[in-house]
Amino acid sequence: MTATLPTGLSARARVPASSANLGPGFDCLGMALGLYDEIVVTVAASGLDIRVEGEGADDVPWGPSHLVVRAIERGLESAGVWADGLSVVCRNSIPHSRGLGSSASAVVGGLAAANALAAKVSADLELSTAQMVQLASEFEGHPDNASASVLGGAVVSWSQEAGPPEGPRTFAATRLEVHPDVRATVFIPRERSSTVHTRGLLPELVPHRDAAFNAGRTGLAVVALTSHPELLMAATEDRLHQPYRASALPLTTRWVRSIRSRGYAATVSGAGPTVLALSTEPLPHDLIESARDEGITVLELDVAEGVVVD
């Protein structure tokens, strides 16, 4: 039986951004980063009232098709609860379409807020962390981003395909504890890039030697991130997606090369255009200043914990 949530019941979710792939771990490695969206959901007597502040406020729809609203509805349905109306406030700091997992953060934040509402009515209704990973990954489509925003730290995510390729998939993820010396710096260009567009540039098949190269580098990335950060340069090399996306991301590609030429590990963050640098010391001042001179926003971010609700 579906429980109806009482009017006035409220929950808040604070959800981190994420950087997917981390170089070689295409569609399977991710890291939560300390840049946050906040979502406040209150049960109303009827209708939908939505307010968006900050990143994307002028671009996203303020109505039922809003990604956060759709995620809240999915979360309520999965937890087996019903709200007669909703008031939703989104305070966004994660830039959209820059390769920092904004869409996954929106979905994880909406699901987590809905789950918190359900848990306030009855602890028995609360979805588990594994269910959150599954729901967020199937809803958003990028388990590397979604798992990082749910679990925090760095993550390895994987899926089991049941039946035909377009059929339902079971997603799972595990968290890696990032070595405390690892620092994450993001270089965020002004220009946007659509994940769907740059995924379309990837070939259906890749040479076996490139697949083997990435398998080795992905294993190495887990070691470098958790216990041997001195291996980060080799561990962030990739042949599966960055070379194919380079033509669509000239500024990003130039900055990945430029940072690496100075001896610091750098990769395309997710599908770009942001560059993620991973280092054990702060990046040189002149490097950061010349990026800023090109209009690139440079931020050193903490490796974040997963979504938090209250």
Ligand X SMILES: Nc1ncnc2c1ncn2[C@@H]1O[C@H](COP(=O)(O)OP(=O)(O)O)[C@@H](O)[C@H]1O
Please report the beta strands in the chain, taking only residues with DSSP state E, as ranges in sequence order: 3-4, 10-20, 29-44, 47-54, 81-82, 85-92, 154-161, 169-176, 183-188, 265-268, 275-279, 297-301, 308-309
Between 91 and 199, CB nearer to ligand LJ64HWYM: 199
Task: HSE, CB side, 13 Å, CA atoms: give it for residue 69.
Answer: 19
**Residue type at position 64:** P
Is 250 marked as a binding-site residue? no
- Binders of ligand LJ64HWYM among residues 28 to 57 (CB under 6 A) are none
What is the torsional sign of CA 115, 119, 124, 130? positive
Residue nearest to ligand LJ64HWYM (CB): 270
> Residue 27 binds which one of ligand LJ64HWYM, ligand X, none, with CB within 5 to 8 A depending on kind?
ligand LJ64HWYM
What's the closest the beta carbon of residue 60 comes to ligand X, in angstroms?
Answer: 4
Bridge partner residues of 42 (DSSP): 10, 87
* 20 binds ligand LJ64HWYM per the rule CB under 6 A: yes
Binding ligand LJ64HWYM (rule: CB under 6 A), the pick from 199, 226, 243, 284 is 199
Q: Report the C-alpha gap between 104 and 142 in whole angstroms.
A: 7
Between 145 and 218, CB nearer to ligand X: 145
8 Å CB contact between 130 and 141: no
Return the percent helix, strand and coil in the chain, to nearest 5: 35, 30, 35
From residue 70 to residue 109, the character string flagging contacts with ligand LJ64HWYM as x (rule: CB under 6 A) and all else as - is -----------------------------xxx--------
- Binders of ligand X among residues 36 to 75 (CB under 6 A) are 37, 56, 60, 66-68
> Residue 144 binds which one of ligand LJ64HWYM, ligand X, none, with CB within 5 to 8 A depending on kind?
ligand LJ64HWYM
- Binders of ligand X among residues 175 to 204 (CB under 6 A) are 194-195
Binding ligand X (rule: CB under 6 A), the pick from 12, 14, 74, 98 is 98
- Binders of ligand LJ64HWYM among residues 116 to 175 (CB under 6 A) are 142, 144-145
* 24 binds ligand LJ64HWYM per the rule CB under 6 A: no
Is 159 marked as a binding-site residue? no
**Residue type at position 4:** T
User: Tokens 């170089």 label which residue?
Assistant: 23
Is 163 marked as a binding-site residue? no
Q: Are strands 10-20 and 29-44 parallel, antiparallel or unpaired?
A: antiparallel
Is 98 marked as a binding-site residue? yes
User: Tokens 């588990």 label which residue?
Assistant: 128
What is the torsional sign of CA 185, 254, 145, 192? positive
Q: Report the C-alpha gap between 117 and 272 in whole angstroms.
A: 34
Give residues in contact with ligand LJ64HWYM (CB under 6 A). 20-21, 26-27, 99-101, 142, 144-145, 195, 199, 241, 270-271
Residue ranges of the annotated binding site are: 95-105
Give residues in contact with ligand X (CB under 6 A). 37, 56, 60, 66-68, 90, 92, 96-103, 106, 194-195, 270
